[in-house]
């Protein structure tokens, strides 16, 4: 069952039909705040009829031959494989160059395409290098699709700020961002099919002023923007009229200038209504007693904090502004405040990481366990790691990725030693992380390769086998070299045509990084 929290338009006379696709199953789509926000934008346009389509959609209301535009948001590199499968399912020509006048215009957006569209650009007629505001202007052109030729429409789109049309390339495309000074983004459709069933999500802020060297969310979303307090309170009241499940979203949630007031307001609501509150992630330097007690009061049993690295040296190097004392204090506050456990996140294989850094991570976990035992209260600690994936548009965009053998050794060390002290450990998939690393920084089209990967099963084995096949005929570099792919000798990666607004700051950070030894 779905509940729309906005007034939909009746008696539309649309000029074009749009499929707003999500390259995963429906439950994930209905949990995606960005996906639902763009759907509302399109749904409230009187000139469009828009239908949501997922990877598990069985039948569509609009037949494929009547679709004028198809849009997708690409959040993860692997989403591209699902996108290819979906286009094939509906017999849509996969590459822009193959589409004729009557074929739909296909556009994409999301962090993967905003940071580096080059490996995938052949699939798209245009790409939104920006946020929601870019699409408003784009659809003023697209609604006239039947009055102009395909190339004329694309040429008009290429003139817009924040829109990248591969057929009509520009020297620079600037990321265009939404003005959040007078609005707050929240869940527009409550659904019992959502992965977070009937949960009302509120975006408190976008971006993060801490700007860790590895963090794409920080570097793509400058400047950090905070939703207005009054609008957040209005959104909380709206959400609680329809559900008792609230979630606060943002990379720097607790850094909102009025965060304590927001938490206190929710705590007051808990006095008269049973509320389930969750927060995307806590910062260990901002998690205080009041916040923890409110989470417990609102039925949250565990919370998540990101350490990123175990040693202070490595946290300093990646610009993770966090001390061991703050970490231990957060654990103590969480336990004494009534939480039942903490999920801790870190990365393996960060630049300059040595075996000693992993040993220090284990020692930190031992200190946490020792501190927990002093209270004699049950409290579960889970450590989850991923392997470091260098991302375009961050200061770590050129670093060499740690080799697979070293990563396996360090992960096995964690498995063995964390088990001894009773810490739950969730290890990463090194092979899939390798693929993401390749895709995130590749500078040329991989369209033909990715299509063949899908045709051969779209799995890990197909990716590796076909990469080596393409490497033998010298279409692609060797798989082994590509997995690490050091780029530190390249002065200007091809994706630098995207202006994030932070290019000068990134250059300064790069200068700091390469003034000393780096792997």
Domain extent listing, the chain: 2-174, 198-300
The answer for residues whose C-beta is within 8 angstroms of residue 170's C-beta and 6 or more apart is 158, 164, 497
Confidence of residue 491 (pLDDT cuts 50, 70, 90): low
Question: CA end-to-end span of the chain, whole Å?
Answer: 52
In angstroms, the CA 91 to CA 64 distance is 8
Q: Are 83 and 407 in contact (CB under 8 A)?
A: no
| pLDDT value at residue 490 | 56
| pLDDT value at residue 515 | 55
| pLDDT value at residue 344 | 92
Confidence of residue 335 (pLDDT cuts 50, 70, 90): confident
pLDDT at residue 235 is higher than 50: yes
Is residue 44 classed exposed, middle or buried when 0-12, 13-18 and 19+ CB atoms within 10 A define those classes?
Answer: middle
Q: Are 225 and 132 in contact (CB under 8 A)?
A: no
- Taking CA atoms, 254 is separated from 92, 251, 263, 346, 461, in Å, by 44, 9, 10, 20, 42
In angstroms, the CA 492 to CA 490 distance is 6
Name the CATH architecture for the domain at 2-174: 3-Layer(aba) Sandwich (3.40)
Strand partners, 501: none
In angstroms, the CA 359 to CA 367 distance is 13
Tokens of 100: 């004729």
CATH annotation of 198-300: 3.30.750.210
pLDDT at residue 78 is higher than 80: yes
Is residue 489 classed exposed, middle or buried when 0-12, 13-18 and 19+ CB atoms within 10 A define those classes?
Answer: exposed
Helix (H) and strand (E) counts for the chain? Answer: 19, 20
pLDDT at residue 282 is higher than 80: no
Omega before 51 cis (within 30°)? no
According to DSSP, residue 138 is labeled: H
Confidence of residue 68 (pLDDT cuts 50, 70, 90): very high
514-518 LR contacts (CB < 8 Å, sep 24+): 514/488, 517/352, 518/351, 518/352, 518/399, 518/488
In angstroms, the CA 175 to CA 142 distance is 20
Lowest mean pLDDT segment, chosen from 48-52, 208-212, 285-289: 285-289
Task: Give pLDDT tens digits for 430-458.
Answer: 988 888 888 998 888 999 999 999 999 99
| pLDDT value at residue 518 | 43
Tokens of 61: 């209301």
According to DSSP, residue 93 is labeled: -
Confidence of residue 333 (pLDDT cuts 50, 70, 90): confident
Q: Please state the rounded mean pLDDT for residues 16-44.
A: 96
Residue 462 parent element (H or E): helix 460-472
| pLDDT value at residue 486 | 58
SS (H, E, C) 317-383: HCCCCCCHHHHHHHHHHHHHCCCCEEEEEEEECCCCCCHHHHHHHHHHHHHHHHHHHHHCCCCEEEE
For residue 168, the number of C-alpha atoms closer than 13 Å in the C-beta half-sphere is: 16
Q: Please state the rounded mean pLDDT for residues 354-383.
A: 90
Task: Give pLDDT tens digits for 167-198.
Answer: 999 999 999 888 888 889 999 999 999 999 99
- Taking CA atoms, 247 is separated from 185, 251, 496, in Å, by 12, 13, 35
Residues in the chain: 519
pTM: 0.91
The whole-chain average pLDDT of the chain stands at: 90
Task: Give pLDDT tens digits for 312-327.
Answer: 999 999 999 889 999 9
More confident residue, 376 or 17: 17
| pLDDT value at residue 517 | 43
Strand partners, 348: 387
pLDDT at residue 292 is higher than 90: no
């Amino acid at each position: 069952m779905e509940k729309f929290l906005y007034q939909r338009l009746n008696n539309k006379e649309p000029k074009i039909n749009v499929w707003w696709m999500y390259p995963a199953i429906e439950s994930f789509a209905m949990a995606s705040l960005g996906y639902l926000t763009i759907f509302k934008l399109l749904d409230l346009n009187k000139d469009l009829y828009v239908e949501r389509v997922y990877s598990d959609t069985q039948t569509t209301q609009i037949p494929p031959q009547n679709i004028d535009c198809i849009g997708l948001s690409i959040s993860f590199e692997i989403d591209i494989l699902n996108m290819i499968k979906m286009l094939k399912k509906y017999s849509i020509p996969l590459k822009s160059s193959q589409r004729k006048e009557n074929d739909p215009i296909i556009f994409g957006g999301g962090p993967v395409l905003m940071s580096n569209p080059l490996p995938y650009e052949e699939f798209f007629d245009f790409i939104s290098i920006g946020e929601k505001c870019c699409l408003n202007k784009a659809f003023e052109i697209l609604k006239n699709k039947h009055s102009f030729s395909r190339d004329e429409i694309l040429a008009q789109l290429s003139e817009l700020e924040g829109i990248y049309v591969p057929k009509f390339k520009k020297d620079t495309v600037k990321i265009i961002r939404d003005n959040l000074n007078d609005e707050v983004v929240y869940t527009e459709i409550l659904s019992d099919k959502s992965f977070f069933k009937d949960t009302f999500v509120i975006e408190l802020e976008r971006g993060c002023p801490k700007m860790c060297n590895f963090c794409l969310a920080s570097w793509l979303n400058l400047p950090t923007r905070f939703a207005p307090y009054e609008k957040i309170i209005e959104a909380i009241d709206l959400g609680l009229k329809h559900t008792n499940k609230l979630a606060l979203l943002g990379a720097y949630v607790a850094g909102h200038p009025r965060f304590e007031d927001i938490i206190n307001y929710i705590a007051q609501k808990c006095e008269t209504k049973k509320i389930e509150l969750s927060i995307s992630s806590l910062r260990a330097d901002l998690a205080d007693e009041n916040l923890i007690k409110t989470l417990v009061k609102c039925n949250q049993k565990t919370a998540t904090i990101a350490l990123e690295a175990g040693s202070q040296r490595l946290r300093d190097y990646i610009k993770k502004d966090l001390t061991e004392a703050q970490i231990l204090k957060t654990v103590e506050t969480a336990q004494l405040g009534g939480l039942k456990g903490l999920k801790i996140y870190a990365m393996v294989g960060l630049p300059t990481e040595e075996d000693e850094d992993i040993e220090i991570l284990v020692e930190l976990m031992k200190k946490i366990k020792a501190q927990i035992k002093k209270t004699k209260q049950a409290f579960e600690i889970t450590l989850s790691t991923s392997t470091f994936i260098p991302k375009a548009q961050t200061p770590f965009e050129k670093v060499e990725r740690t080799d697979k053998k070293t990563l396996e050794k360090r992960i096995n060390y964690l498995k063995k030693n964390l088990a001894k002290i009773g810490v739950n450990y969730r290890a990463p998939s090194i092979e899939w992380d390798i693929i993401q690393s390749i895709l995130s920084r590749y500078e040329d089209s991989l369209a033909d390769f990715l299509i063949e990967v899908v045709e051969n099963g779209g799995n890990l084995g197909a990716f590796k086998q076909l990469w080596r096949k393409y490497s033998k005929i010298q279409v692609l570099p060797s798989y082994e070299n590509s997995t690490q792919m050091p780029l530190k000798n390249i002065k200007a990666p091809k994706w630098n045509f995207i202006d994030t607004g932070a290019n000068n700051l990134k250059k300064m950070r790069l200068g700091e990084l390469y003034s000393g030894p780096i792997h």
